[in-house]
Structure 1
């Protein structure tokens, strides 16, 4: 048996097959209702969501981007972003865990061979989860890589250390960015149980606590040739890989913002006290609280609208990925990322402000929304989104092609 054939799907019950966009959204809403009830407790105790992830992946939602010609639903990017936002509003860690799974499937769609697509897509439709091992400590920039893919004898070996490996702890495969013997970056879809792979649960961030975004070590890990997909070339020509990655981050932030906003409405209505100078009986009638909720509502709805617009641009670029369409999609996603970053942080902060001193009680764990937003929005600096957008409209300068715009 070859390494490429060594993957064994989870022995869980059969995975459902999502039929279309409407089906995906309905399933996401149903799951969100289940995940929401214990989300605060999971965060407070840092209880890893193994059971929830089994339900999540068996629902079929992890396969919704598999193209129709390979047996999947091939949902729109608009729908994918909505699904991620819906799950993230219930539990933002659960919303983030499949982010790099979807990203790995996009790299496969853009650069994989037909044989690789048929094999790896089939695994996903059977319930396989892909994690990631992309980022590294100690490099000059966040985009630099040192993990090596080297040919030794008649086989390939991977050696290196990765961090921020969201999803790897829960995965059957760990797609890994590696540098080959020619200095070219590749993407290796490494089986989680391959000898020499060590996943360490050492994520200690104060937010997104249950994403399992810790360390992955590779020590002479054997990799099949047909488990390696070109990666660097996805940014040497116009492709949707970069904006695809970014719209998922925007969707997670929209979900965090929505959760904080809805918790604020409930807390103000049911538990907050009006400020004495307001001269009202209920906090919900406090005119300054009403004003702040109005501001949050408008900005949240604007962020959600920009997310949908970005998905439409990305769908157009996916259909016809030329330089202009890919650039337009990247800018539309950057616009959404700018506002979703700000509203996620603002909603988490305003929730605590409007809840008053009662809102800081540990029993309610309301601070998790701000902690999650602050942690997740550090992925890449929003200030560079504004620069890219301004340069595009003012100077007709196309944005750089990479996964961090």
Structure 2
């Protein structure tokens, strides 16, 4: 994990402390005003800008394009630390990091070079795949070819991060209802991004509506292939796990601080102060232990994703290996465990502090609200069944949406 001096474990590589050292001062600044942002619902434009300027959006980008070229376990260790400061911001960068994986797994051509360079220079991408109508992966949004370009029409919801970004990574259908994907400039005429996400958690993640009214797109904006990288489902789920692990870490840290400062005692207490009461200290341990376990699971699953990535970019035919499906399975068998660990930890912490813990000034409720919202994004009720089917019969997880796998050796285009 990270922060061995605080009992969170060693980082995922020998160089991790050096990598994390660049960002920890920023994470600290972000965390200092997290309660204020939550209570005022202030969108963290400034904090996102700090991270962009520090190269946070180029973490996985190859050094030749201006990036840090870190591994997936190193990335997820950083996401845990960022989430301890503010999980909203982790979610803001979720689609950006996913598009980065698209590029890293794509054929080495001019289009890939162009976009790796843009991300290496600090440009940012938000999400534009989900719609409120139809099933997950179904699109009413259209991108139709015109004489000298393309025309985009439609609407998206859960457009996380797009209000902060330069581009929206968007899925749609073309004139023949075939899948098509594009990078849409957020500043283009006809693009409207609304801050209308009204969830009780992750309130500043910018996960609301985006509308597209006759938006003109250039050929450069169209992705050569609408397929995605082989560990797509696992990757996006694991970002949520990293957020949960960070939430647990922040809850444990804040709880310990409040217990240490608490002067009031209960008549049935077992010490001269809360910090000396063994039953209160037990509650603190029941929060920190799950946070530690969640982080350890995240980094273990990140190793499975790294194996999937390395297998894909080495040219192994996806139909000739189970490594990508194993990444999905390792992710699915972690969903319920991490969800239960952090939801319980962010609930039981109140038992150590009494009614004063419910005061708005402490904002301890934000940890449960954020965790509850994140665990609702991809319903965990289905993941245990998927794991059971695999364990009993070896059945592979069913694909979600357009799951054709892109490899670095693909040729041609799915663009109409």
TM-score normalised per structure 1: 0.88
2:289 counterpart residue number: 298
> Partner of 2:122 in structure 1?
127
Aligned to 2:356: 358
Per-residue deviation, 1:225: 2.3
Taking structure 1 as reference, are residues 381 and 404 closer, same or farther at Cα in structure 2, changes over 3 Å only? Answer: farther
Name the CA shift for 1:272/1:55 in 2 (closer, same or farther; >3 Å).
same
Task: Tell me, yes or no, if the aligned pair for 2:65 and 2:120 is still in contact at 8 Å.
Answer: no
CA distance in 2, matches of 1:32, 1:50: 15
Structure 2: how far apart are the matches of 1:227 and 1:23? Answer: 36
- Distance in 2 (alpha carbons) for counterparts of 1:164 and 1:404: 18
Paired position in structure 2 for 1:386: 384
1:47 — aligned with what?
42
- TM-superposition CA deviations, 1:158-213 (whole Å, max 9, x none): 11111111111111111111112232222211111111111112122111121121
Quote the Cα distance in structure 1 between the aligned partners of 2:186 and 2:153. Answer: 15
Matched residues in 2 for 1:234 and 1:165: separation?
A: 18
Q: Deviations over 1:279-303 (max 9, x none)?
A: 3222233333333333333322221
Structure 1 residues without counterparts, runs of 5 or longer: 1-19
8 Å Cα contact 2:244/2:294 also seen in 1: no
Q: Is the partner of 2:223 in helix, strand or coil? A: strand
C-alpha displacement at 1:232, in angstroms? 4.8
Q: Does 1:224 align with 2:222?
A: no
Within the candidate set 80, 86, 89, 2:81 is matched to 86
Give matches, 1:3-402, under 5 Å: 21-68=16-63, 70-111=65-106, 114-139=109-134, 141-229=135-223, 232-234=226-228, 239-271=230-262, 273-321=264-312, 322=318, 323-402=321-400
In the TM superposition, residue 32 of structure 1 has moved relative to its aligned partner by 1.1
Aligned residues of 1:272 and 1:356 also touching (Cα < 8 A): no
CA contact under 8 A between 2:106 and 2:112: conserved in structure 1? no
Name the CA distance, whole Å, in 2 between partners of 1:402 and 1:73.
31
Q: Unmatched 5+ residue regions in structure 2?
A: 1-14, 313-317, 404-416
Distance in 2, Cα, partners of 1:215 & 1:272:
47
The whole-number CA distance in structure 2 between the counterparts of 1:354 and 1:230 is 55
- The 3-state SS of whatever aligns with 2:170 is strand
C-alpha distance in 1 between matches for 2:350 and 2:378: 25
Question: Under a length normalisation based on structure 2, what TM-score does the superposition of the two structures give?
Answer: 0.86
Alignment deviations for residues 50-79 of structure 1 (CA, whole Å, 9 cap, x no partner): 111111110111101113454422211101
Residue 7 of structure 1 corresponds to which residue in structure 2? none
Tell me whether 215-224 or 200-209 shows the greater mean CA deviation: 200-209
Cα shift at 1:307: 0.7
